[in-house]
Amino acid sequence: MTEVRVALAAAATTLEAAGVDSPVNDAEWLLAHVLGTGRGSLALAPALTPDQEQAYDALVQRRATREPLQHLTGTAGFRYVELAVGPGVFTPRPETELLAGWAIEAARAVTGRAPVVVDLCTGSGAIARSIVDEVPQAQVHAVELDPSAHRWAQQNLDGTGVDLCQGDMAQAFPELDGTVDVVVCNPPYIPLEAWESVAPEARDHDPHLALFSGDDGLVAMRVLEQVATRLLRSGGVVGAEHADLQGESAPGVFAATGRWADVRDHRDLAGRPRYLTARLAR
């Protein structure tokens, strides 16, 4: 029988040595998962049984190989919802909650009718699920190209009323052209040359289709600009996440066309450029 504090300390040491960014946090999440409790209850948990200790050690060793924490627990929290995630789908990041929050506020700003929202490159369905959860009157449409990611999105969006399609965002929802209030997207945006700098959790486990976007990382952003121009009604808005080194180049994709007003970039809680927004000027 191993005391909880001893097990946590040993696990955190193992994870820190493996280069995991948040070893204490991950050690706690994994133990809470094994014990079937919340992290806040760990201090009151009894000593681990041999079976629990074995299960915990196995998960810690897998995390030490940089397998994503969310793949080990099978879930990822995103704003106020919990998503099923695993191999074959991009694991939603906390930073993207800011973009989702912007889209939610933009949808709430539509008055007199139900807002129409399109989530492109939906992945696990995190943004679409959050929007329909927090703006239940919204008509939400989502599209995902990758078949495996689409299956995860189906699981997360089942029963929510979100219109989910599988396909390329470039051809998505032609029936909505000129009628959409909000387009939101977390596109792939990592330059191919940045392969080696990507964290193993993403590089080795997230679908490459969700990560890389040409030599400059902006191929998908240029497609998004064209699709948003087609989908949005006059005065409609678009928001898109980008890499922290694209705080000028990503908004520049929109500013250069002359089709957009109020092109702005927004920073995350760490002060890094994180997502852009723009309003269709026509």
DSSP string, 248-270: THHHHHHHTTS-EEEEEEEE-TT
CATH fold for domain 4-65? Helicase, Ruva Protein; domain 3 (1.10.8)
Tell me how many degrees the CA angle 14-18-20 measures, rounded to the nearest 5: 95
pLDDT in tens, 173-232: 999 999 999 999 999 866 666 555 656 656 655 665 555 555 777 889 999 999 999 999
232-241 and 273-280 strand pairing: antiparallel
State the average pLDDT for the chain: 90
Structure tokens at 278: 């723009």
Name the β-bridge partners of 266.
Answer: 275
Is residue 101 predicted with pLDDT exceeding 90? yes
Where is 35: in which H helix or E strand? helix 23-35
Return the pLDDT at 194.
56
Six token digits for residue 131: 């929007």
- Point out which residues pair with 163 in neighbouring strands: 141
Spatial separation of the C-alpha atoms in residues 99 and 95, rounded to whole Å: 8
Per-domain boundaries in the chain? 4-65, 87-280
In angstroms, the CA 12 to CA 6 distance is: 10
Residue 130 CA to residue 179 CA, distance in Å, equals 21
Cα–Cα distance, 239 to 257 (Å, whole number): 16
Half-sphere exposure of 258 (CA within 13 A, CB side): 0
Report how far residue 189's alpha carbon sits from residue 26's, in angstroms, rounded to the nearest whole number: 27
Determine whether domain 87-280 maps to CATH 3.40.50.150: yes
Residue 41: band (very low, low, confident or very high) from pLDDT cuts 50, 70, 90: confident
**Can you tell me whether residue 139 is helix, strand or coil?**
strand
Out of 152-161, 212-221, 226-235, 273-282, least confident range: 212-221
Sign of the C-alpha dihedral, residues 194, 199, 200, 203? negative
Confidence (pLDDT) at 21: 83
Paired sense of beta strands 260-267 and 139-144, if any = unpaired
The model's pLDDT over 114-129, given as tens digits with 9 standing for 90+, comes to 999 999 999 999 999 9
